[in-house]
Amino acid sequence: MTTAQYRKSTRSDSTGSCVEVATNIPATVLVRDSKDPAGPTLSFAPHDWTTFLANLDPDAPR
């Protein structure tokens, strides 16, 4: 998706092992590996993404 505007996760470290997330596409959250921006992308419904994050970190915003 060429219109996706990715940002690095706030939990990314300084080694370049980063996850990037795009939330500017309506009804879609895209996730990719920053080391391979042309590589595969995961796609989530916003509710599913929020649920995923909440299960990783109980302090994540909902």
Q: What is the distance in angstroms between the CA of the first residue and the CA of the last residue of the chain? A: 25
Q: Which residues of 50-62 are buried (b: 16+ CB within 10 A; e: fewer)?
A: eeebeeeeeeeee
Q: Give pLDDT tens digits along the chain (62 positions).
A: 569 999 987 767 777 678 899 999 999 999 999 888 899 999 999 999 988 888 876 665 65
Structure tokens, 48:
């599913």
Strand order in the sheet with 28-33: 6-8, 19-25, 28-33, 41-44
Count the alpha carbons within 13 Å of 47 in the hemisphere toward its beta carbon.
0
Q: Whole-prediction pTM value?
A: 0.77
